Structure 1
Amino acid sequence: MIGSIIGTGVFALPSALAPYGPISLVAFAAVTLGALALALTFGSLAGRVPASGGPYVYAREAFGEFTGFLNAWSYWITAWAGNAAIVVAWVGYVEVFVNTGHRTGVSILIALVGLWIPAAVNLTGARNTGAFQVITTVLKFVPLVFMATVGLLFVESADFGPFNASGRSAVGAISAAGAIALFSYLGLEAASVVAGRVREPRRNVPRATVYGTLVCAVIYILGTLAVFGTVPHSRLGDSTAPFTDAANNIFGGTWAGDVVAAAAIISGIGALNGWTMLCAEMPYAAARDGLFPAAFARLRGENGVPVFGIVASTVLASLITVFSYTRFEDVFTKIVLLSVLTAVIPYLFSAAAQLYWLLVRGREGLGRGRLIRDATVAALAMAFSYWSIQGSGYQTVYYGLFVLLLGLPVYLWLKRDSGEYGESPALPAAESRAPETPPTKPAPRIPRQRGRHGNVLRHHD
């Protein structure tokens, strides 16, 4: 959980939030509350449906196959597009040591290496993927905990700059900054997505989801606060490695920043490792139900590796990375907003599924207090999802809706032989006629008569 949530996003986030000023810390606090509501909701859902697939499974069980497909499709886009965003931030820290001139061609090459190393680890099996995740999570924690504790002692108020530097209203600035900040919490559903591979999922998945999100929340808010207070606002927006700059300002020289950069590189590889697994696991769960191309459900080797899902997702992440480097200046922010939007859609449906089970299916199984508590948390998670969509901006919603609707031809193709279009399979053929139309009484048979020359005499009404 922690390894998937904490990637290079948090290491690049202060620079992405700098244009809004310290008001983005208010947005971060609001996003944290929403993320905790989502974590509690996912924890409850995982206890109810302890199967791999997470948001896809919840939407399918509550609202049917088509909704399940849309959630799987949207989340799959989040996974590989999110990998592109992670690797862009990862490149910024690699370039502390190499390609300091930030030549675009070299940056793209570094990014592709960063995407395919975790893919290679995942192709060796889930056990190696998990071991790699544990190691990288431990190593990435050291500089983050340092900045979230010792770094706070070096904060200077003059470095924060204007409270709202965006020129927007306070509400508009908080909404826009919140949409970016939410990227830091993407992955809070990771344990539910791979629940089928977890021991005792009804107990362990909810615990991992809630406790993992809480730990990340504390480190995120305090670490970002420390960076805002140790790097001057005028420089923070242009920084490609803000935690490195903060460490250098605290200790002087470059050695401390180099240590932080090395930790960020390890952190990014660890996050990419976890998300590459999610890239394959979500479509694998949907493909087993016939709601994703069958190639995603094929497992290879003794370890049961979903090779096609890993390779296809990494290829797509590579393509969007190359496209973004050649088309956008603020590459990280553009991909982040697209990833957030396509993630929030499954979050929204998951919260709706929880409300559906609480208020429609499961009322008789819960006490009044538990029902009110769980329904309130799910309603907050749902409202938070709507707020995140609103804060993503018109352009992001346009692109997000476009890639979401690209899934419709895929769904039609998957269902082409099932005979589900334009029919009502619940009614047999004999009952499908309109009951108000009485059967027509057949006309009486009139015997044919022959004329004098043997010709048939025809009778007319």
Structure 2
Amino acid sequence: MRRKPVERLIAESGQGAGGTLRRSLGMWQLTMISIGATLGTGIFVVLGEAVPEAGPAVVLSFVIAGLTALFSALSYAELAGTIPVSGSSYSYAYATLGEVVAWVCGWCLILEYGVSVAAVAVGWGQYLNELLDGTIGVTIPTALAAPPGEDGGVFNLPALLVVLLAMAFLLGGAKESARANTVMVGVKIAALLLFCAVAFTGIRAGNYTPFMPLGMAGVSAAGATLFFSYIGFDAASTAGEEAKNPQRDLPRAIMLSLFIVTALYCLVAAVAVGALPWRRFDGSEAALAGIMESVTGHSFWAVLLAAGAVVAIASVVLTVLYGQTRILFAMSRDGLVPPVFSRVHPRTGAPRANTVIVSLFCGGLAAAVPLGRLAEATSIGTLFAFALVNVAVIVLRRTRPEMPRTFRVPLSPLFPVIGFVLCVWMMKGLEPVTWIVFGMWMAAGLVLYFGYGLRRSRLATAEPAPAEK
């Protein structure tokens, strides 16, 4: 239950086993990292699942899901400005709740980021096939476009390729990766705005009535489904040691990214249900592309949207992979995982070995393992981490009230408590198999901690922080 003082966390920030991370990211780049990690597969596929539950009122469902995410985002914003280090909620838990809780949180994040990279990479291959088919009439053979056991797949080559592409950008350094991500985020925002402009011409007022055909219960059910479209807004908090002015920029980036994503989701949903009767959203993964084609009568627009989806999903892979490497960097620096993960390349300022190991693992997972229900485990890992962050805000307010805070959660502890309760409520609604996978993952993590991390922890060896030497 030993805790790592905030001052020590900050004093050690940026310093790995073989060098120092470089502070090169401004507020706009940090915002783009969070948008890049959030705005991806969700909006391109989730409408087909949510609209049948809520009808045209799916717009309200997006607002409800955004408000649910907001409570945890406020807690992230306060802690990111107060403890501006890599590691996100892992580091916040280390400073407030103790080492074993921090380990559990970090282990949850490894599950969340690692499996979601693999799951998103699998989806990228599907959209790539749509794009290739619509442009040059060629598709990747099924044997090379799906993992074993799925539709006759043998090896998912596109999934591996997109992870390796993201790895190449990350090896160039945080600044170069952020530039590539900013371009990709711009492309996918443009693709969604293009959808709105084209589909707007097909809006029929009658499609909005009745507005709430399945009542408030349907709106709430769709809101729970849509919440997972918001996962990723916390990605900027993993860049705490590479931000130029983290105390000022991290809280702004987290809140701004959530606002932009929510506004885009609501706009796209409002236009989509206006252009297509809600009963015709039958779970199709290509709902937006189908609307574009039915409104215009041409497949060109659907192909253009598929191109936007390819870029959008590649951006998610890049930013989530980035977050994964930075969390492992922080855990390695604390001695809880091997030191290879905190070695920094002197020229690029990137944790090179860390990036290669994580990328090859996630790429191999995406290419050769049928993920199936395992992908749902990302949801429970995320919600668990969110819940701990809400608790950490309350604990730090009580134990260190004098600490300077560039952003404060309003109405604390009420808002953090609401955030915690909402996370627990959503966890309760997940499938039993998800809880079984989560329990097995936690058990394996605790074995690792007590077998390796407990004795090798830098706090256990009482090594002085750089500021104390």
* Same-fold status (TM-score > 0.5): yes
Q: 1:213 offset after TM fit, Å?
A: 0.7
Q: 1:27 offset after TM fit, Å?
A: 3.6
Unmatched runs of 5 consecutive residues or more in structure 2:
1-33, 134-138, 147-155, 463-469
Percentage of matched positions with identical amino acids? 22
Q: 1:178 to 1:390 in 2, by over 3 A?
A: farther
Retained in 2: the 8 A contact 1:83–1:317? yes
Report the AA paired with residue 395 of structure 1: V
Retained in 2: the 8 A contact 1:14–1:228? no
Q: 1:210 offset after TM fit, Å?
A: 0.4
Q: CA–CA distance in 2 between the matches of 1:65 and 1:116?
A: 33
Retained in 2: the 8 A contact 1:27–1:174? yes
Q: 1:225 offset after TM fit, Å?
A: 3.4
Q: 1:309 aligns with which of 338, 354, 359?
A: 354
Q: CA–CA distance in 2 between the matches of 1:102 and 1:338?
A: 29
Q: CA–CA distance in 1 between the matches of 2:346 and 2:457?
A: 35
Q: CA–CA distance in 2 between the matches of 1:374 and 1:238?
A: 40
Q: 1:245 to 1:147 in 2, by over 3 A?
A: same
- The runs of at least 4 consecutive aligned structure 1 residues that moved more than 6 Å come to 157-166, 363-366
Q: CA–CA distance in 2 between the matches of 1:347 and 1:286?
A: 18
Q: Residue 137 of structure 1 corresponds to which residue in structure 2?
A: 185
Task: Figure out how many residues of one structure are paired with residues of the other and give that number.
Answer: 410
Q: 2:81 aligns with which of 47, 59, 65?
A: 47
Q: Over residues 362-400 of structure 1, what are the superposed CA-to-partner deviations in whole Å (9 max), with x where a residue is unaligned?
A: 28989xxx7862322212221221122123222222222
Q: CA–CA distance in 1 between the matches of 2:457 and 2:356?
A: 32
5 Å-filtered alignment, 1:379-458, equals 379-415=417-453, 417=455
Q: 1:401 offset after TM fit, Å?
A: 2.6
Report the AA paired with residue 317 of structure 1: C
Q: 1:372 to 1:240 in 2, by over 3 A?
A: closer
Q: 1:89 aligns with which of 123, 136, 159?
A: 123
Q: Over residues 383-424 of structure 1, what are the superposed CA-to-partner deviations in whole Å (9 max), with x where a residue is unaligned?
A: 22112212322222222232233211110122464699xx9x
Max radius of gyration: which structure? Answer: 1
Report the AA paired with residue 56 of structure 1: Y
Give the number of the structure with larger relative contact order, counting CA–CA contacts within 8 Å between residues 6 or more apart. Answer: 2
Q: Residue 241 of structure 1 corresponds to which residue in structure 2?
A: 286
5 Å-filtered alignment, 1:57-456, equals 57-98=91-132, 103=142, 105-107=144-146, 108-148=156-196, 151-152=199-200, 154-156=202-204, 171=217, 177-231=222-276, 236-322=281-367, 325=370, 328=372, 334=373, 337-362=376-401, 373-415=411-453, 417=455
Q: 1:10 offset after TM fit, Å?
A: 1.9
Q: 1:44 to 1:254 in 2, by over 3 A?
A: same
Q: Residue 459 of structure 1 corresponds to which residue in structure 2?
A: none
Retained in 2: the 8 A contact 1:299–1:307? yes
Retained in 2: the 8 A contact 1:230–1:249? no
5 Å-filtered alignment, 1:5-16, equals 5-16=38-49
Q: CA–CA distance in 2 between the matches of 1:192 and 1:288?
A: 17
Q: Over residues 41-62 of structure 1, what are the superposed CA-to-partner deviations in whole Å (9 max), with x where a residue is unaligned?
A: 1111112111111101111100
Q: 1:118 offset after TM fit, Å?
A: 0.8
Using the size of structure 2 for normalisation, the TM-score is 0.78
Q: Residue 6 of structure 2 corresponds to which residue in structure 1?
A: none
Q: 1:21 offset after TM fit, Å?
A: 4.5
Retained in 2: the 8 A contact 1:180–1:336? no
Retained in 2: the 8 A contact 1:118–1:269? yes
Q: CA–CA distance in 2 between the matches of 1:365 and 1:128?
A: 32
Q: 1:246 offset after TM fit, Å?
A: 1.8
Q: 1:314 offset after TM fit, Å?
A: 2.8
Q: Over residues 120-179 of structure 1, what are the superposed CA-to-partner deviations in whole Å (9 max), with x where a residue is unaligned?
A: 21122212111101111111111212334663453347768998999xx965x6665444
Q: CA–CA distance in 1 between the matches of 2:211 and 2:451?
A: 52
Report the AA paired with residue 65 of structure 2: V
Q: Residue 8 of structure 2 corresponds to which residue in structure 1?
A: none
Deviates more, 1:371-380 or 1:8-17: 371-380
Retained in 2: the 8 A contact 1:11–1:243? yes
Q: 1:233 offset after TM fit, Å?
A: 5.1
Q: 1:16 to 1:104 in 2, by over 3 A?
A: farther
